Amino acid sequence: MLTLDKIYHAAFVLKEVARRTDLIAAPRLREDCELYLKTENLQVTGSFKVRGAYYKISQLSAEERAKGVIACSAGNHAQGVALAATRMGLKSVVCMPDGAPIMKVESTKRLGAEVCLVKGTYDDAHDRAVELQKETGMTFIHPYDDEQVIAGQGSIGLEILDQLPDVEAVIVPVGGGGLIAGVAFAVKSLRPDVKVYGVQSAGAASMYKAFRDHTYETLDTVDTFADGIAVKTPGELTFELVEKYVDDVITVSEDETAAAILSLMENQKLVAEGAGAVSVAAALYGKLPIQGKKAVCLISGGNIDVNILSRVINRGLVMSGRKCNLMIALEDKPGQLTRVSEIISGCGANVVSVQYDLADTNMAITSCFLKLALETRDAAQIEEIKQALTDAGFKLVSERA
């Protein structure tokens, strides 16, 4: 049974390995509330997962330690298990989906674990890990549905209350539910008045659906770049705790998550992975009632693949109105491009790409399509440019991000 004493004990054990991550003010992210960031992306493995993994492994018996440990993970739990097992002199095997970010796979190996790549999703990796556990007798370290793992994650809740005693709301990313279960239990046990909200990716909303339907259920598929929370089935224990201690669970889109990652980089100089940024996305896009409150967004991890990061930045620029593509139907005659450029320049935007399309069969022979890529300030400036072009007699055919 999960108790507050176990969470305090976990916090004591974790002093030897886990950082007490900073809680930093983020006034530039949102002005109508007092927003703070709990920076677990700056944890020793780049994620909160080391807390639960280390505490679980630290509590194993001598007989269990002799056989080693096995786990399944999309990457962050893998690194936590690898670090903990290596520090304690144990053998570790981690099953990971073959689509896991290369950086996470290589980091897990570097920390001392044997990695078994499994075709499919996290759930497929989980099934393979269970098979290997039965074959080898190694102890299975579940990434979220385990009382001691949850207790380890709950140590974050204790830190938040200590760092911001008058906190009014805590916003937590949700995958299988281990993080929010531990944080919510700790926070609500000590401060029942504090609101605890969970955030999932809309493409992997297993806990969201279970919370809404008040029944434990499994998704057919998941589709999100936030690989750390791409879970089809929430934990049974975590679902019970979420139902009891969490005030609400909501979802955010891929574009909202991408914009949150970009905002964290620009305004806070912090790198977050998709799973870590969903809490900030919820705050940025007004998904939760935190106006006028002291609210903490938990950034659960920062282990994002650089190839994904470049794509995310591009999507974030589009979502935040910093980048825009326009297509204009023009009469093909001298001076047209000059006039368009003058209008855009007059609105304060920058043209970074120009392309003429003369071959479209849907336009007149004497016409062309002008395709422009712009760097803009925000969505309002994009609308200003469109209006100015329209007022000047130009026809906007389409716009594509």
What distance in Å separates the CA atoms of residue 175 and residue 199, rounded to the nearest whole number? 9
Residue 53 identity: A
Give the number of other CB atoms < 10 A from CB of residue 251.
21
For the CA atoms of 232, 43, 245, 149, the dihedral, rounded to the nearest 10 degrees, stands at 70
What distance in Å separates the CA atoms of residue 337 and residue 186, rounded to the nearest whole number? 62
Tokens representing 54 are 């280390």
Mark whether 300 is an active-site residue: yes
User: Which string of DSSP letters, residue by residue, matches 170-181?
Assistant: EEEE-SSSHHHH
Ramachandran sector of residue 269 (left: φ over 0; alpha: ψ -120 to 50; beta: rest): left
Residue 381 identity: Q
Strands 294-299 and 169-173, by their bridges, are parallel
Q: Where are the beta strands (DSSP E) in 179-314?
A: 195-201, 248-252, 294-299
Active-site pick, 6, 38, 47, 49: 49
Tokens representing 169 are 């709301």
Among 375, 308, 313, CA closest to 348 = 375
Burial annotation 82-106 (CB, 10 A radius, 16+ → b, else e): bbbbeeeebbbbbbbbeebbebbbe
Mark whether 294 is an active-site residue: no
Strands 294-299 and 34-39, by their bridges, are parallel
Q: Where are the alpha helices (DSSP H) in 191-253?
A: 206-213, 236-245
Active-site pick, 206, 300, 320, 323: 300
What distance in Å separates the CA atoms of residue 282 and residue 271, rounded to the nearest whole number? 17
Among 266, 373, 282, 377, CA closest to 328 = 373
Rounded to a whole number of angstroms, the distance between the first and last alpha carbons of the chain is 50
Q: Contact, 198 vs 300, CB < 8 A?
A: no
Reduce the DSSP state of residue 44 to 3 states and report it.
Answer: coil
**Cα distances (angstroms) measured from residue 227 to each of 176, 202, 222, 375:** 12, 13, 10, 30
What distance in Å separates the CA atoms of residue 397 and residue 368, rounded to the nearest whole number? 11
Active site residue ranges: 49, 300
